[in-house]
């Protein structure tokens, strides 16, 4: 028998995009989980699944098998979760109708609350299908009830709360909401915005500034070209973006530039976005999200598209070699295909260096390894004190998790732990060492704002790339409301965006019409 023209990289359960397109509203109990595999062919990774109706269906999964294999090395044990409904052993995706099922393998790192469906833009690629025409707004008490339900299932603490929508800065009770969530044990609050109001509204900027110790902004920013803005946002709104970045930076509010990147549109502007972040104080992060085909974004070519590893592969050429894919690792808390992260630090000589290059891949991997025996052995023949070694490892795990960002309260400790173990310059160390002294906190904050950048690549799944194991280990959960019992619960982000019956249970849609 002749050999196959591909190598199986991994066996997976997937779904048929053609069946999905024929009946997007199909009841979830009728959605078939299909046997399939990730196949490496022609130096690309293809998702192939067998559908009883359509036969063998093949779509592009990732552009680089080499980088995908590299990412798969970075895994760590996941945290125990509390299911929303005990005994929910239904299969994916119908299990999510009752919230997080028993078979989920990660807790909620990020809880995403869609405050409203209304938006002041109608972006052609919006996965939430928001628009000015939609009016549903989740009542404040419902949002808080949803947050409190999650707190009760997360041992009384939420790491990250992301306020989204629609456009969350248009939420009529935003100030009351921020006051209420800041009074709760929530480590950080992210506002996911298009920046139009931030560019124009002084009161809003003042509100964000007032809460800047705990509140951070995720600002959509797609690059420097008019084409990127028009394709993704429906109009050339670059002047608003520039103004929003300037105002947030001046207010000392930590901001992450969130880039939607599409092949042939702005995939050549990734370097520009990273550079803009490096050059702008308090822009502490860049998140690059390859465009995905859920919601209104249906123009993605399933056979030739920008992918996770494609973004990583483009970094080196577009940043003049400053950032390469080896400067990033997979986020150990989520599925290794779901997110990659890297930290860049500017040393006293003004040079940007990555955390992986400072610590080294092998050492980083050892520190992430939670096998106690192995760790004890390493400590025995090392000059670093035991306690310090343990703290550094814990700090790294925090750093390389979905929950981390520069406004995280423990960040100064984390950086101090890490930076005493790698050479980033005397001035930096002096600032870090003195941060515990009264009045030095602001200095440390400014240093993090100017000298540290977090780069992440976050590829969300649509039906052409959806595999079950990534949903199972997902830790970015969208607040939903049970269609039958009205109970507050949540479900993986990509599942909620892809399947219409789940999308309708998002808190904004489900409770927005009840007032």
Q: Is 350 in the site for another protein (CB under 8 A)?
A: no
Q: How far is the CB of 22 from another protein (least distance, A)?
A: 8
H or E stretch covering 375 = helix 372-380
| Nearest of 362, 317, 323 to residue 455 by alpha carbon | 323
Q: How far is the CB of 187 from another protein (least distance, A)?
A: 42
CA distances from 104 to 11, 17, 95, 100, 491 (A): 19, 23, 10, 6, 10
Among 14, 31, 57, 291, binds another protein (CB under 8 A): 57
Among 26, 32, 41, 58, binds another protein (CB under 8 A): 58
Q: How far is the CB of 464 from another protein (least distance, A)?
A: 8
| Nearest of 254, 287, 143, 115 to residue 188 by alpha carbon | 254
Beta carbon nearer to another protein, 21 or 176: 21
Bridge-partner residues for 345, per DSSP?
353, 452
CA contacts within 13 A on the Cβ side of 347 = 14
Site string for another protein, 166-205 (x = CB under 8 A): ----------------------------------------
Q: Is 303 in the site for another protein (CB under 8 A)?
A: yes
| Residue 335 backbone zone (phi > 0: left; psi -120 to 50: alpha; other: beta) | beta
Gap between the Cα atoms of 95 and 78, Å rounded:
20
Q: How far is the CB of 48 from another protein (least distance, A)?
A: 7
Gap between the Cα atoms of 161 and 113, Å rounded:
7
- Stretch near another protein under the rule CB under 8 A, chosen from 57-65, 104-112, 274-282, 316-324: 57-65
Strands 352-354 and 452-457: unpaired
Q: Is 23 in the site for another protein (CB under 8 A)?
A: no
Gap between the Cα atoms of 45 and 440, Å rounded:
50
**How many other C-beta atoms can be found within 10 angstroms of the C-beta atom of residue 147?**
22
Q: How many residues of this chain interact with another protein, rule: CB under 8 A? A: 15
Beta carbon nearer to another protein, 179 or 304: 304
| Nearest of 154, 122, 176 to residue 163 by alpha carbon | 176
Among 4, 25, 42, 55, binds another protein (CB under 8 A): 55
Q: Is 48 in the site for another protein (CB under 8 A)?
A: yes
Bridge-partner residues for 455, per DSSP?
286, 342
Strands 283-290 and 488-492: unpaired
Beta carbon nearer to another protein, 124 or 302: 302
- Stretch near another protein under the rule CB under 8 A, chosen from 50-58, 65-73, 352-360, 381-389: 50-58
| Residue 219 backbone zone (phi > 0: left; psi -120 to 50: alpha; other: beta) | beta
Q: How far is the CB of 69 from another protein (least distance, A)?
A: 24
* Distance, first Cα to last Cα, the chain: 67
Interacting residues with another protein between 59 and 98 (CB under 8 A): 59
Q: How far is the CB of 458 from another protein (least distance, A)?
A: 24
Say which residues have a Cβ less than 8 Å from residue 18's Cβ, sequence separation at least 6: 51, 53, 54, 57
Among 302, 384, 391, 440, binds another protein (CB under 8 A): 302
**How many other C-beta atoms can be found within 10 angstroms of the C-beta atom of residue 38?**
22
Among 43, 52, 372, 381, binds another protein (CB under 8 A): 52
Q: How many helices (H) and strands (E) does the chain have?
A: 21, 16
Interacting residues with another protein between 461 and 490 (CB under 8 A): 464
- Stretch near another protein under the rule CB under 8 A, chosen from 45-53, 216-224, 278-286, 452-460: 45-53
Beta carbon nearer to another protein, 21 or 213: 21
Q: How far is the CB of 54 from another protein (least distance, A)?
A: 6
Among 12, 13, 17, 468, binds another protein (CB under 8 A): 17
The site for another protein (CB under 8 A) is made up of: 2, 17-18, 48, 52-59, 302-303, 464
């Amino acid at each position: 028998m002749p050999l196959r023209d591909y190598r199986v990289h991994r066996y997976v359960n997937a779904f048929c995009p053609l069946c999905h397109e024929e009946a997007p509203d199909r009841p979830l109990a009728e959605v078939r989980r299909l046997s399939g595999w990730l196949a490496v062919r022609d130096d690309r990774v293809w998702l192939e699944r067998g559908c009883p109706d359509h036969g063998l269906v093949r779509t592009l999964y990732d552009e680089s098998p080499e980088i995908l294999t590299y990412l798969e090395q970075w895994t760590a044990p996941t945290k125990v979760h509390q299911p929303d409904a005990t005994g929910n052993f239904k299969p994916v995706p119908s299990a999510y109708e009752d919230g997080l099922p028993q078979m989920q393998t990660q807790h909620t790192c990020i809880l995403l609350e869609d405050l409203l469906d209304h938006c002041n833009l109608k972006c052609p690629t919006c996965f939430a299908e928001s628009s000015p025409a939609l009016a549903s707004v989740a009542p404040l008490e419902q949002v808080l009830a949803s947050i409190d339900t999650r707190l009760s299932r997360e041992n009384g603490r939420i790491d990250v709360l992301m306020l989204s929508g629609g456009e969350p800065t248009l939420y009529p009770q935003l100030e009351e909401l921020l006051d209420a969530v800041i009074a709760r044990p929530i480590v950080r609050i992210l506002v996911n915005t298009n920046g139009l109001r931030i560019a124009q509204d002084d009161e809003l900027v003042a509100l964000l500034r007032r809460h800047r110790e705990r509140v951070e902004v995720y600002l959509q920013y797609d690059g420097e070209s008019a084409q990127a803005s028009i394709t993704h946002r429906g109009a050339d709104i670059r002047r608003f973006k520039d103004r929003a970045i300037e105002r947030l930076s001046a207010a000392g509010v930590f901001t992450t530039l969130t880039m939607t990147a599409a092949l042939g549109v702005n995939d050549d502007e990734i370097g520009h976005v990273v550079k803009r972040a490096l050059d702008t104080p308090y822009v502490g992060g860049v998140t690059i999200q390859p465009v995905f085909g859920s919601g209104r974004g249906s123009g993605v070519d399933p056979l030739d598209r920008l992918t996770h590893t494609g973004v990583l592969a483009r970094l080196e050429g577009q940043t003049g070699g400053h950032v390469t894919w080896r400067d990033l690792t997979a986020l150990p808390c989520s599925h290794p295909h779901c997110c990659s992260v890297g930290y860049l630090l500017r040393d006293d000589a003004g040079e940007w260096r990555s955390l992986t290059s400072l610590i080294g891949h092998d050492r980083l991997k050892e520190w992430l390894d939670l096998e106690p025996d192995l760790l004890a052995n390493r400590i025995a023949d090392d000059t670093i004190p035991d306690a310090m070694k343990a703290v550094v490892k814990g700090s790294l795990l925090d750093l390389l998790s979905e929950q981390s960002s520069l406004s995280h309260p423990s960040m100064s400790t984390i950086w101090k732990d890490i930076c005493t173990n790698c050479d980033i310059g005397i001035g930096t160390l002096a600032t870090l060492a003195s941060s515990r002294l009264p009045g030095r906190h602001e200095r440390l904050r400014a240093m993090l704002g100017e000298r540290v950048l977090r780069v992440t690549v976050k590829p969300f799944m649509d039906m052409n790339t959806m595999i079950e194991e990534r949903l199972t280990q997902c830790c970015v959960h969208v607040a939903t409301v049970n269609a039958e019992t009205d109970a507050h619960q949540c479900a993986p982000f990509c599942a909620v965006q892809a399947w219409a019956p789940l999308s309708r249970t998002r808190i904004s849609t489900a409770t927005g019409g009840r007032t």
